[in-house]
Amino acid sequence: MQTINLRHQLNIHGYKVILLGLLFTLPFQALSQRRYEKENLPNYDSELIHYGFYLGGHSASMKLKYDDVYLSNEFDSLHSIVPQSSPGFTVGFILNLRAAQYLDFRVLPGVGLYQYTLNYNIYDNAQTILVQGKKEAFYAELPLMMKYKSQRRGNFRAYIIGGVKPSYEVSGKRPDEVNEDILLLNTFNLALEFGLGFDIYYEFFKFSPEIRFSRGVTNALFSTENSYSRPVQQLTTNAVSIYLQFQ
């Protein structure tokens, strides 16, 4: 049975605390001040197309499904495989198309640095040895999102967002070109994403802090036979991201 590692599950990085505070403090500050401020960018939402850029930080991990061979005598020394969350970042551009009064279609091309880590807990001479399988790479991403907005209140509005995010690794060798005994992942991944955020209208631009949850729907494990992949049947990606968007 896989051991639940609470330390990894509850691990909170300092940058995430800061960004979360920024995400939820600024909207309430905007709400408290909107009665005393003029309405910025009054015709902004009537325009068909908007451009911008975003900066993001994320915590990424993987969900695994054991292969039947994990229960065989071949891996009797392997106690468990525990995914570990790792931080990373994303940068990209925004193309926003107004589809209806409260509905936008968004294309968000970008590039992100991800690190996926699996901790292999192995028994050896009555001791537990921790062996890590790591994969770190840059991915080109093309999220396609639908954004549903609330009614604007002064210089503030809330929204929810959802869609798909295909990504492709743009660094390193292809998995079939690697001869080392390391954790190998597919170069292509597809994930479903959903989240929420706030639009805050300033005099010359719109600022939108957003939190988004991502869940992979394709098997990220490359089909090769080595000591890292044999006990695993399927790997899917998970991520929690915080974006700061400027339009």
CA–CA separation, 143 and 154 (whole Å): 29
% of the chain with per-residue pLDDT over 90: 60
pLDDT digits 0-9 by tens, 18-54: 555 555 555 555 554 545 568 999 999 999 999 999 9
Backbone torsions φ then ψ of 116, nearest 5 degrees: -115, 130
Q: One-letter amino acid identity for 136?
A: E
Instruction: Tell me which of 130-134, 176-180, 193-197, 240-244 is least confident.
Output: 176-180
Strand ranges inside 67-187, DSSP E: 78-84, 86-100, 103-107, 110-124, 127-141, 144-149, 156-169
Q: Would you state the pLDDT for residue 87?
A: 95
pTM above 0.85, yes or no: no
Cβ partners under 8 Å of residue 178, min gap 6? 184
Tokens of 113: 């640095």
**CATH number 3.30.700 given to 6-246:** no
pLDDT digits 0-9 by tens, 215-231: 999 999 987 778 888 88
User: Residue 79: pLDDT band by 50, 70, 90 thresholds?
Assistant: confident
Q: Would you state the pLDDT for residue 162?
A: 97
Domain boundaries, the chain: 6-246
6-9 long-range Cβ contacts below 8 angstroms, 24+ apart: 8/82, 8/83, 8/84, 8/85
Whether 3 has a pLDDT exceeding 70, the answer reads: no
